[in-house]
A = this chain, B = another copy of it.
Amino acid sequence: MSIEKSADKINGDFRRKSILSLGQFTPQDIDILFQETPRMQTTVEGQQQLIDLKGQVVSLLFYEPSSRSYGSFASAVQRLGGGIIPVQNPEIVASVAKGETLEDTVRTYECWSDGIIIRTRNPGDAAGAAKTAQFVPVINAGDGIGEHPTQALYDLYTIREKFGRLNDLTGVITGDLLNGRTVHSLLKGLALYQNNAVFLLSPESLRLPPKDITELTNEGLRLVEIDSVDDIPRDTNFWYWTRVQKERFASLHNYEAVKHQFILTPELLRTRGNDNMLLMHPLPRTGEIEAAIDLDPRSVYLRRQMRNGLFVRMALLALVMGK
């Protein structure tokens, strides 16, 4: 969790910076990014071709399966006029299969491209890649149970789009708080703003590590661990539901025991929700949301949230790599 220490702070200048952790961002940096985002929405909806990345090529190095990060970044680069080098499963299709290290793979792909977007299995891998890369920026698209900063950025954008602010908010985060990298990054983001509180609800074995609780609390975020959906206060601004991640369990038995401990149902929403809230989820999901919730106007996980993901990632690429 010391990823942010090895990466440069943005401090108002995104150009050629690697993006590894929410810890690099100040609220002012996030403001700059969010000011750039509506231009992306407008052009995508108008099917206009942007040229921010024209003449550039971006490597997509995905060591773990991905639909949202891979797909949205592949789209974002091309909508900005750039080209892509798609690499899914480098263990099979690339020289990793011949015993190549991550370092050499990164050095190789920075020879072909003007930027690298990377998803890896181990926390810190993206920071390592950024340290290895001497010439091009690296964007962390999820490093195991570490961070997923661009996910958190578009989650924050979605919250701000709804409430017009990122301070004075109360939310609930449910699911795998131990292994969920999107959770780790989102909490860091909320801690940047004044007077936010998050209620944490997870299986006993998947609680947010005490070290994280201490750090985030020290930064001013109010964290309240609760044991039951009955403890959710009625007046929250958002519920951020997450999946218990099967791929992080060594034992299938342990996974089965907790995977559906907390389910988002219409009944729960009636008893613990309110009319003006957001229902969010980073996806993928595997049964922790009842189908009826999809149609609820408060739910944004199937469209608004992901759609913002495309726009925010485009804005980030334009700021980091654009001319």
Residues on B with beta carbons closer than 8 Å to the beta carbon of A56: 47
CB atoms of B83 and A57 under 8 A apart: no
CB atoms of A114 and B47 under 8 A apart: yes
On whether A95 and B68 interact (CB within 8 A), knowing A75-B112, A112-B74, the answer reads yes
Chain A window 27-55, contacts with chain B (Cβ cutoff 8 Å), 1 for yes, 0 for no:
00000000000000001001111000011
A149 CB–B CB distance under 8 Å? no
On whether A284 and B98 interact (CB within 8 A), knowing A79-B55, A112-B310, A309-B111, the answer reads yes
A11 CB–B CB distance under 8 Å? no
Residues on B with beta carbons closer than 8 Å to the beta carbon of A100: 67, 283-286
Beta-carbon nearest neighbor of A97 in chain B: B65
Q: Which residues of A contact B (CB under 8 A)?
A: 43, 46-49, 54-57, 59, 62, 65-68, 70-72, 74-75, 78-79, 81, 83-90, 92-100, 104-105, 107-109, 111-114, 134, 243, 245-247, 283-286, 302-303, 306-307, 309-310, 323
Beta-carbon nearest neighbor of A132 in chain B: B302
Residues on B with beta carbons closer than 8 Å to the beta carbon of A111: 72, 303, 306-307, 309-310
CB atoms of B75 and A284 under 8 A apart: no
CB atoms of A89 and B92 under 8 A apart: yes
Q: In whole angstroms, how far apart are the Cα atoms of A323 and B100 in the complex?
A: 38
Q: In whole angstroms, how far apart are the Cα atoms of A291 and B309 in the complex?
A: 39
CB atoms of A284 and B68 under 8 A apart: no
On whether A283 and B95 interact (CB within 8 A), knowing A72-B111, A79-B57, the answer reads yes
Q: In whole angstroms, how far apart are the Cα atoms of A83 and B280 in the complex?
A: 29
Q: How far is the CB of A18 from chain B (nearest CB, A)?
A: 18
Number of this chain's copies in the complex: 3
What are 15 A-to-B residue pairs whose CB atoms are below 8 Å?
A43-B55, A49-B55, A65-B93, A67-B109, A70-B94, A71-B108, A75-B85, A78-B84, A89-B93, A98-B246, A98-B284, A100-B284, A104-B284, A104-B302, A134-B303
On whether A94 and B67 interact (CB within 8 A), knowing A100-B286, A104-B284, the answer reads yes
Extra A-B contacts (13), CB below 8 Å, given A88-B93, A107-B302, A107-B306: A47-B323, A57-B78, A59-B71, A65-B95, A67-B108, A70-B87, A70-B94, A78-B83, A83-B84, A97-B247, A100-B283, A111-B306, A111-B309
CB atoms of B66 and A303 under 8 A apart: no
Q: How far is the CB of A57 from chain B (nearest CB, A)?
A: 5
Q: In whole angstroms, how far apart are the Cα atoms of A283 and B111 in the complex?
A: 13
CB atoms of B71 and A284 under 8 A apart: no
Residues on B with beta carbons closer than 8 Å to the beta carbon of A247: 97-98
Rank and list the top 6 A-B pairs by shortest CB-CB distance, nearest first. A78-B83, A100-B284, A67-B95, A95-B284, A65-B97, A111-B306
Q: In whole angstroms, how far apart are the Cα atoms of A323 and B80 in the complex?
A: 19
Residues on B with beta carbons closer than 8 Å to the beta carbon of A286: 98-100
Residues on B with beta carbons closer than 8 Å to the beta carbon of A109: 67, 71
Residues on B with beta carbons closer than 8 Å to the beta carbon of A113: 71, 75
Q: In whole angstroms, how far apart are the Cα atoms of A75 and B86 in the complex?
A: 10
Q: In whole angstroms, how far apart are the Cα atoms of A54 and B245 in the complex?
A: 38
